[in-house]
Amino acid sequence: MFAAGEITVTGEKDSAKEKVSADDMDKLDKKNIAQAVNVLPGINLGNAGARNEGMIYVRGFDMRQVPLYVDGIPLYVPYDGYIDPNRFTTFDLSEIRVSKGFSSVLFGPNTLGGAINMVSRKPEAAFEGTLKEGITFGSDKIASTVSSLNLGSNQGTWYVQSALSLLDSKFVPLSGSFVPTANENAGERDNSAARDLKGSVKFGYTPNSTDEYSITAIGQHSNKGVPVYTGSNPSSAVRYWKYTDWDKSSLYFIGKEALSSTSYLKTRAYYDNYYNIIDSYDNATYTTQTSKKAFTSVYDDKTFGGSVEYGTELISHNTLKLALHDKYDMHREYNVGQTPKDFEDNTLSLAVEDTWAAANDLNVIVGVRQDFRNTVKAEDLQNNKISSFNLEDNSAANYQLAVVDHLDSYQDVTAYIARTTRFPTLKDRYSYKLGNALPNPGLKPEHSLNYGLDYTTKPYEQLKMQASVYQSKLVDVIQQVNNIAYVNNIWVYQEQNTGKATFNGFECAVDWKAASWLKAFGGYSYIDRKNDSDPTLYFTDVPQHKISGYFQLTLNKSSWAMLETEYNSKRYSTSDGKYTAGGYGLINLRASTTLVNAFTVQASVENLFDRNYAVSEGYPEPGRQYVLSLAYSL
């Protein structure tokens, strides 16, 4: 595994974070990272249906509050702080690690509710490779195809890893129980095609057993349709949108060097470019752009950044780590034919983390981080003239305390408290929201005080159990305040720091190898989110209850069969509680066999009972699908 791509906390146990391995992603046929992390308790999938973007919620926090990283490098669109996890395929990853509630201050800013870190692959053999092909059937047709190739070589003092994948979804098949609407005739979901091409190459140099330096280049090109709203909410507009370009390119360097037997230096430097084009059309023919709602919108975002992390053991049983992060974000937006607007932010972060081995089985972890956000440029466009918004700067203090107790040879307990923050995004501060809102350059950071108790036990090798209870107290939450002004004959709203909220939750998981031929995994999560500042408003998109798991039967040393299941209770889709996505249960069947030495065939039936369901009201999810995958190890 690529250890230099991890963010590690000395003395921390796995109870505070969880991971999904490459083997799990292959076995459960999880093609993107949203699907992959959904197997964990405390994780919920959402759908920003109006943009056809996936969403990941970690203990009720969205992806602006739980950033996504690759090898410890932050990934998010500078403008709105989101990144579409459905666009990130899993074929080139060794694992995904999710930190909940307590995430190291070494990650840098905006980790209000945790962090998700994708760790890339690193070759171990002189030559290794995997070729995969897959096909999905739905509505009696080929719905999608997937191809991926991973090649790697480790020559001792240097290595190279490359990957190429293409996920081509021609349409999303709807359940046979879906009732046609004025905007959707059932069968093949209209305007649901998507195509994701991704390539990467990593070169690494390992002069000795402690030092490692790597350079990675990643390119992604995607296009996707945006299926229209099919629900009953009259406030949800029907949009005829297509992303003709959803492109991302990255170049990053990671170095780790041992300065002595007790100290090290880790450096990261990176460049990201996001380029998106949305075409809005007049109607469902997607051919003309003549009405007022039609446009071609271009977002061109760039990020330059880097970090330095230094760790040392100044005194016995005490590990000190210092980190400096700097990230410069640039956003340019315009509709074709209009004057572009430019925005620039610089975010600086200083962090200190200390781990004290207070006893043989007891570690105390203390972390402090100070974040600074400087607004460099924020342009407004009125009557085709550029002017400047007020440029407001912010700072935020973060601190953490955790006690990790190794009770005995099979039990660990972690208790923590963490004060965390998130800076408002450029969109939070400066967007007119298509004429429905007023900007608020003076928005302050959101704050959360997170408490948690994690317990892990492994009474014997075949059984592992874990449980967590937690509470998050949020203040200065950025909320929509309605009817603050009457502009252009409509009442408009504004984003303001008016919110207070409390999240209470519990989650547990059991991983059990009951016999040589039977393995089972199950997870349950419960969360109660209350809006303390306005109890009449509901938090959306996260169900109160979730159960997921699987039973895997090993038929022989090269074949297995699996039943995978998931249940989610209902969730609110609007804050007034009037529109909800109902509860649902899903069952998937999977089976795999190795025909010859390195040739594996896997077949699945997903959504076995063809359940018609949604995670966001008005945006139905796929019905029954049949999946066939072939893998060959080179």
What pLDDT was estimated at residue 15? 44
Q: What span, in angstroms and rounded, lies between the C-alpha atoms of 589 and 607? A: 9
Looking at residue 574, the DSSP 8-state letter turns out to be: S
Which residues in the chain land under pLDDT 70? 1-5, 7-17
Spell out the alpha helix ranges (H) of 363-498.
426-430
Q: What span, in angstroms and rounded, lies between the C-alpha atoms of 551 and 574? A: 35
Q: For residue 270, give the nearest of 342, 203, 218 by alpha carbon.
A: 218
The residue assigned the tokens 């009953």 is 232
- Scored b (16 or more CB within 10 A) or e, 536-558 reads ebbbbbbbeebbbbbebebeeee
What pLDDT was estimated at residue 605? 98
What pLDDT was estimated at residue 9? 65
What pLDDT was estimated at residue 49? 80
Q: Which two tokens stand for residue 293?
A: 């709602």
Q: What span, in angstroms and rounded, lies between the C-alpha atoms of 587 and 109? A: 39
**β-strand 68-70 against 490-515: which pairing, if any?**
unpaired
The residue assigned the tokens 């500078």 is 78
Contacts of 558 (CB under 8 A, 6+ apart): 593, 594
Looking at residue 80, the DSSP 8-state letter turns out to be: T
Other beta carbons less than 10 A from residue 143's beta carbon: 24
Q: Which helix (H) or strand (E) holds 159?
A: strand 158-169
Q: Which two tokens stand for residue 261?
A: 């037997």
What pLDDT was estimated at residue 237? 82
User: In 3-state terms, what secondary structure has residue 22?
Assistant: helix
Rounded alpha-carbon distances, angstroms, from residue 506 to 98, 135, 279, 471: 16, 38, 43, 9
Q: At CA 319, angle to CA 158 and CA 351, rounded to 5?
A: 85
Other beta carbons less than 10 A from residue 326's beta carbon: 17
- What residues does 499 pair with on adjacent strands? 477
Domains of the chain from N-terminus onward: 3-633 (2.40.170.20)
